[in-house]
Structure 1
Amino acid sequence: MSEKLDVIIFGATGFTGKYTVLEAVNVLKNYRWGIAGRSQEKLEKVLQEMGAKAQKNLMDIPIILADVENEASLLAMAKRCRVLVNCCGPYRFFGEPVVRACLEAGTHQVDITGEPQYMETMQLKYNKQAQERKVFIISACGFDSIPADLGVIFVEKNFDGVVNSVESYLENYSKGNSSKGGAGIHYGTWQSAVYRLANSDELKEIRAKLYEEKLPKFTPVLKHRPFIFRSDVVNGVCLPFPGADRSVVMRSQRFLYENDHKRPVQMHAYITFKSWISAILVAFFTVSFGFLIKFSLGRYLLLKYPKVFSFGFASHEGPSEEEMEIAQFSLTMRAKGWDNSERLSEPTDQYTEPPTKALTVKVSGPNPGYGATCVALLSTAVIILKESDKMPGPGGVLPPGAAFAKTSLISELEKHDHGIKFEILDAK
């Protein structure tokens, strides 16, 4: 067998995969890495294309042939590396065979899924085996949901007290024009969202098996905002954010409560628009989308005609490089809690007074779908290689906040051109 690599990028010929290869030129420059997929010809083309963009000859990068429908090839691929970066989605269809191969091979795996049903099913089925095999299986390592999950970790590290709640406000915009939305998305991302929302009812049964005991209710309870409202925190009109951020954050917070005896942070997530008109139009789209996914015909239409039903936001071609180059995001997080002088002795103790302290932070970066996402994904692989001793226990199926809370992942993210910046805006 050839020399073992540090990292293999699987699904390198997909839209996200090829930009992960591009970012690997910088993020993995001190590591031995390769790429994997079904077609030798297509993989060679990716190396040629991304090498030209990076102005570097990548043709000596190892190529591994592997197919999600061939378990033997997946196992052979997993045995070739220490960390497998999985870009092959939708994960509810293609993710589990890769997880099984990594567990058998004793190889860590990171991916970018934003599908709660998939993530929590993997935790339910394979967490114990991952611990026994000393393997980390970590999902949501891209835009879903590194900014939110590590953002809450950043909040707690800088709060100097006890955090009760965090409200996050996402803004997507184009560089130089904050009133314009960011770049669109590729069909694969759209497809994952359709299946995730269409099967959201599965979560109740999965969570009943995964968490036999409910978390205690902590007071004061963080209440939901109205469906549409104006927020002074970001000076914009807000709607509930439909992504996986809250789901992922709450899994991390539960893990830290159960393993580190830390009071869990309550969290709600919102998306922000500059005008009432924009927010109302998106609200109408959201309601229409939610109606269509309830029916097989509606799902067929959404998947068959993504450009039509997303008003041009999703397409098989994906966003252009010009659109991605100017796309930006910011996630403003408003935290409330108490200072250390009011800290209670046990995490289950309840406060009788309202929060007395607040902190606002911002997490921001470029090209959230295919720039910052790729850097974040590769950075998690780097941290596993460098700092597995700072990660919890021997292994497990974990969300990123739980896995990387005590590592230097935030610093790793901040040092790259297309990375993610964490900053404090104000403290009161």
Structure 2
Amino acid sequence: MAEDRLDVIIFGATGFTGKYTVYEAVKVLDNLRWGIAGRNHDKLKAVLEEMGTKSKKDLSHIPIFLADVNDEASLLEMAKRCRVLVNTAGPYRFYGEKVVNACIEAGTHHVDVSGEPQYMENMQLKYNERARQRGVYVVSACGFDSIPADLGIVFVEKNFDGVVNSVETFLQSGVEDGSAGGGAALNFGTWESAVYGLAHADELRGIRQKLFPERLPKFYPILKHRPLIFRSSEVNKVCLPFPGSDRSVVMRSQRYLYEHEKKRPVQMHAYVAFPSWIAAIAVALFATIFGLLSKFKFGRDLLLKYPGFFSGGMVARDGPSESRMERSFFKMTMKAVGWPKSEKLGECTDQYTDPPSKTLMVKVSGPNPGYGATCVALLSTAVTILRESSKMPSTGGVFPPGAAFAKTSLISELEKHEHGMKFEILANK
């Protein structure tokens, strides 16, 4: 790549996630050359002023680039100006593909925080081979909550000292003072992505049939689903199935590692934890209404017009307050079950005859999951590509983060930063 390129450009910097990515870039991209991009020069300049004041740094020297998702020439010109493009402009199902295409054409790596399985898997289907030929890495799901899940399993396998059969994840989030209130927790853009993602969930089957024409073999014992609502002894909370993209992201990583490195794939189920039965049932009711409404245009219009009402006050068009973000946290507890090293089989396709006898409990945690830890994780993936591409698979391609960064020091990079993530072992039996 040309030496006059910047290391990183943050695209979509005037959006809610984008501007906090700019804030975290002051520390995470220290000693790197970076810039920002978007449609409006005045708004981009205002973001640098606002985030400069917040970080107590003069950001007036940061380069500004104009690019619009509806102007493919501008996207290509932007992509040619950097080595890694950090894309915060969602929903990605509407705006992501043109940016990915521009990056591959320009020979520029691309990372984003999509939680939209249809977009991510469609990009892998359409662009993986071309990205590989161009030596470009395209990695989605580089924020909360897929980084804790996917890299958490990487951490589990590095510390298991044996063969992992299955992992269950239990996600908890809240605010430090324990209050139930505190205002909105999510930005409208995240809500919008969820509405359209669920509305078009039936697209996934067709995409996956083309992307993965051959099914993975079954490995025993098969990890069973928990009840729809249950109390988990692992976290002593009431849990529901987690509706996000964690499992789809993790299983893409596990498939890649099985097919290319002959590693037995880890089975995985994801759950979200609540403090009481009442809270869990209320969320389940909201989720049911959300799911029904998202299937129809009239319902989607209502969800997008009144996000606060249909989310129980958890979503606002102007995003959560600074106070709410500063007090928020997440914990993802992971229970891994498998066999000790002494019982390892010869081939990854071999089946065990004895039940799993080893357990490892791990926790991944951090502050401000939506707009602190997410932004740090996104930028850390960019830094890792710049510094450790030789440890990444193949010469490029479209990857989930676990497959892309399994052999890199991304976990250590995440642990370095104030708003990063901590990976720790809770119990090893």
**CA–CA separation in structure 2 for the residues paired with 1:397 and 1:144:** 19
**CA–CA separation in structure 1 for the residues paired with 2:12 and 2:221:** 45
**CA–CA separation in structure 2 for the residues paired with 1:165 and 1:18:** 38
CA contact (8 A) 2:241 2:270 kept: yes
CA contact (8 A) 1:172 1:181 kept: no
Q: What is the identity, as a one-letter code, of the residue corresponding to 1:208? A: Q
**CA–CA separation in structure 1 for the residues paired with 2:166 and 2:111:** 28
2:104 maps to 1:81: no
Q: What is the identity, as a one-letter code, of the residue corresponding to 2:225? A: H
Gaps of 5+ in 2: none
**Structure 1 residues 153-302: aligned runs within 5 Å:** 153-177=154-178, 184-302=185-303
**Structure 1 residues 329-408: aligned runs within 5 Å:** 329-408=330-409
Deviation at 1:124, TM superposition (A): 0.2
CA contact (8 A) 2:188 2:307 kept: yes
How far does the alpha carbon of each residue in 1:126-172 deviate from its partner, in whole angstroms, 9 at most, with x for none? 00000000000000000031000000000000000000000000001
In the alignment, which residue of structure 2 is the partner of 1:124? 125
**CA–CA separation in structure 1 for the residues paired with 2:4 and 2:109:** 17
Residues 370 and 411 of structure 1: CA distance in aligned 2, closer, same or farther (over 3 Å) = same
**Structure 1 residues 18-167: aligned runs within 5 Å:** 18-167=19-168
How far does the alpha carbon of each residue in 1:194-241 deviate from its partner, in whole angstroms, 9 at most, with x for none? 011111111111000001110001100000001000001000000000
Deviation at 1:179, TM superposition (A): 6.7
CA contact (8 A) 1:171 1:330 kept: yes
Gaps of 5+ in 1: none
Q: What is the identity, as a one-letter code, of the residue corresponding to 1:210? A: L
**CA–CA separation in structure 2 for the residues paired with 1:206 and 1:89:** 20
**Structure 1 residues 406-417: aligned runs within 5 Å:** 406-417=407-418
**CA–CA separation in structure 1 for the residues paired with 2:288 and 2:96:** 29
Q: Percent identity?
A: 70
In the alignment, which residue of structure 2 is the partner of 1:13? 14
Deviation at 1:408, TM superposition (A): 0.1
Corresponding residue SS for 1:110: strand
Q: What is the identity, as a one-letter code, of the residue corresponding to 2:178? A: N
TM (norm. structure 1) is 0.98
Deviation at 1:175, TM superposition (A): 1.2
CA contact (8 A) 2:183 2:320 kept: no
Q: Size of the alignment, in residue pairs?
A: 428
**CA–CA separation in structure 2 for the residues paired with 1:231 and 1:165:** 16
Residues 179 and 345 of structure 1: CA distance in aligned 2, closer, same or farther (over 3 Å) = farther
Deviation at 1:353, TM superposition (A): 1.5
How far does the alpha carbon of each residue in 1:47-92 deviate from its partner, in whole angstroms, 9 at most, with x for none? 0000000001101100011000001100000000000000000000
TM (norm. structure 2) is 0.98
CA contact (8 A) 1:173 1:181 kept: no
Residues 386 and 2 of structure 1: CA distance in aligned 2, closer, same or farther (over 3 Å) = closer
CA contact (8 A) 2:184 2:315 kept: no
In the alignment, which residue of structure 1 is the partner of 2:318? 317
